[in-house]
Amino acid sequence: MADQTPVRTPGLYGSILETVGGTPVVRVNNLAPEGVEIYVKAEFFNPAASVKDRLALSIIETAEKSGALKPGQTVVEATSGNTGIGLAMVCAQKGYPLVITMADSFSIERRRLMRMLGAKVILTPRAQKGFGMYQKAKELAEKNGWFLARQFETEANADIHEATTGPEIVADFAGKRLDYFVTGYGTGGTVTGVARVLRREMPDTKIILTEPANAAIVASGIAQERDADHSPAVSHEAFEPHPIQGWTPDFIPFVLQEAIDKAYYDDLIPIAGSDGLHWARELARKEGILTGVSGGSTFAIAMKVAETAEPGTVILAMLPDTGERYMTTPLFEEIPEDMDEEETEISLSTPGYQMG
């Protein structure tokens, strides 16, 4: 019989916001090569099911403390979805109106989730990419006097990962080796904040950063042009559209720039979107771990590192969100709605309750 001990500390929570963070590190048992331990940090255990819940809460509470966000003021932000969903959760609880700008190329369920949580979602043309939705958010903030969350530039981004995600990893691996930490980037907050902690407290851990093979803007070595407020001045010339939603906008975020300038990662390994799709499906089918394309892509790099790793190597990969956020994307295009031949055969093996 399974152990029925509660996995969380018993007690009452004052609001949903108190459940952000503290996500589990889970061992991969069936896919990891023999002799190598692979773990994943399952950020879909956050209340709105992604790592960006941490960022959303940090942005709002930091702005409240500084006075930059006034009671009842509208919050506006550009997002591929997860930050917007996290902000919608936080703003719903705290009573702030929220307006999201998002390119229409991102999955429909994301915009529906944000609207379900009370946000207004303003779509921008996909041809204008992330830069377009970002500029739209800036326009709306300037015209209406709204608070612009600025996830790509704010210090509250990397700071929350330095304060929570990094220390959680250190605590989970206390007394144990951790040879590799693998992550992709969207804003760059995870790698920058976690790296600050690992470089200080677990200096032997190698940090592996990954980005889409066809949008390798960091690997290009081409500097990002920026405005005076550190926001991107133009779309990055090395960018191409890619299927890894939540990763790599068409500019190098200022939050990520710290990791680049201070050499916070030991290797930068590109990944094809098709590989990310494959490994997300494998995690679901072989491990019961449901993650999105970004999680599958990070895990793909963990598997690649594991191929040549010495026996005893321990690898941790970040899984940013849940696979349920990708129902209308290529991740699920191979998953049928109706019964396949094998399912039909099982149904026909008994006489009753047949589909017409």
pLDDT, tens digit (0-9, with 9 covering 90-100), for 127-183: 888 889 999 999 999 999 999 999 999 999 999 999 999 999 999 999 999 999 999
Give yes or no: residues 230 and 304 share one domain.
Answer: yes
pLDDT band at residue 314 under the 50/70/90 scheme:
very high
Pair 47, 20: CB distance under 8 Å: yes
287 in a structural domain? yes
Give yes or no: residues 166 and 44 share one domain.
Answer: yes
Choosing from 97, 121, 148, the residue where a domain stops is 148
Domain with 318 in it: 16-50+161-332
Give yes or no: residues 179 and 115 share one domain.
Answer: no
Tell me: the pLDDT tens digits for 98-110?
A: 999 998 888 899 9
Q: What's 121-156 look like in SS3?
A: EEEECHHHHHHHHHHHHHHHHHHHCCEECCCCCCHH
356 in a structural domain? no
Give yes or no: residues 39 and 182 share one domain.
Answer: yes
Q: In terms of DSSP H, where are the helices of the chain?
A: 52-66, 82-94, 108-116, 129-144, 155-160, 166-172, 189-201, 254-261, 273-282, 293-307, 341-348
Please name which of 61, 44, 318 lies closest in space to residue 190, comparing C-alpha atoms. 318
349 in a structural domain? no
Pair 183, 218: CB distance under 8 Å: no
Give yes or no: residues 135 and 187 share one domain.
Answer: no
When pLDDT is averaged across residues 326-345 and rounded to a whole number, the result is 92
Give yes or no: residues 173 and 311 share one domain.
Answer: yes
Give yes or no: residues 121 and 166 share one domain.
Answer: no
104 in a structural domain? yes
Residue 7's pLDDT is 58
Residue 1's pLDDT is 41
CATH number of the domain encompassing residue 118: 3.40.50.1100
C-alpha dihedral sign at 285, 281, 245, 197: positive
pLDDT band at residue 246 under the 50/70/90 scheme:
confident
Q: Listing from the earlier edge strand, what are the strands of the sheet with 98-103?
A: 120-124, 98-103, 75-78, 147-148
Give yes or no: residues 225 and 293 share one domain.
Answer: yes
pLDDT band at residue 2 under the 50/70/90 scheme:
very low
Give yes or no: residues 84 and 112 share one domain.
Answer: yes
Cα(87)–Cα(234) distance, integer angstroms:
26
Q: Decide if pLDDT at 279 tops 50.
A: yes
Give yes or no: residues 178 and 313 share one domain.
Answer: yes
| Residues annotated as part of the active site | 52, 294
143 in a structural domain? yes
pTM for the model: 0.93
The pairing of strands 120-124 and 25-28 is unpaired
Residues composing the chain: 356
Token match 């061992």: residue? 27
| Other beta carbons within 10 Å of 57 | 26
pLDDT band at residue 355 under the 50/70/90 scheme:
confident
6 in a structural domain? no
Domain count, the chain: 2
111 in a structural domain? yes
